[in-house]
Amino acid sequence: MNGADPMNLPLFRADYIQRVPHYPVRIPDIRSGGEYYFETGSGLQYQVMFAEKKSSTLEHIVNFSVLSEEYDDEYSITNRGEIYRVISTVVEIIRLYHENHACSVSYEFSGEFKDGNPKRKTSIRTFLFYRKAKQIVHPSWDVELAGNRVLVRRKRNRR
């Protein structure tokens, strides 16, 4: 890192371009808030929340879920051919959140398992987010797949 202050380095690569458009995002009224919302083309309502870990206020767990009560199985409804736009939207929300929390040191995501795959260690959704994170995260951050979690951690300054 050549002695650069890691707090001044971005979360995403400078050459990252979203090739799939994201859905319009409803940001929190207070810009530093941790709850974001969006609606897909098929009318599904999503919530993306950022929770601080107990160990540190600079470490975050990213949780997203469908708010539509008419569905019991969230996984099946997220696969209406909209998954890449959903991922693109979650990435955009993480970008927006990080703009207001630039000192954050980690983000963690864990995807739901699809019914019928009880023996898998890692869900398909987690694999999708891991693959996306490996493509877009700045080299000053580490991306790790740990069981069913994607961990994105800021590298320590190695002066």
- Tell the residue number behind the tokens 């050459």, with chain if given: 15
- At 134 the pLDDT is 96
- Tell the residue number behind the tokens 């019928």, with chain if given: 116
- First CA to last CA across the chain, in angstroms? 8
Structure tokens at 23: 């859905």
Beta strands in the chain (DSSP E): 25-26, 35-39, 45-53, 56-66, 106-110, 141-146, 149-154
Alpha carbon dihedral 125, 17, 51, 80, in 10-degree steps, equals: -40
Where are the chain's structural domains?
6-154
Among 7-16, 35-44, 55-64, 143-152, the range scoring the smallest mean pLDDT is 7-16
How does pLDDT run across 40-53, given as a tens digit for each residue?
988 889 999 999 99
CA–CA distance, 37 with 57 (Å, rounded to integer): 22
Compute the residue count for the chain. 159
How does pLDDT run across 116-159, given as a tens digit for each residue?
666 788 888 888 889 999 999 999 999 999 999 999 999 976 54
Q: From the DSSP assignment, how many helices (H) and strands (E) are in the chain?
A: 3, 7
Domain 6-154: state its class. Answer: alpha beta
Structure tokens at 112: 């739901």
For residue 82, with 0-12 CB atoms within 10 Å meaning exposed, 13-18 middle and 19 or more buried, which class applies?
Answer: middle
DSSP annotation of 137 reads B
Among 36-45, 68-77, 107-116, the range scoring the smallest mean pLDDT is 68-77
Among 6-15, 40-49, 86-95, 120-129, the range scoring the smallest mean pLDDT is 6-15
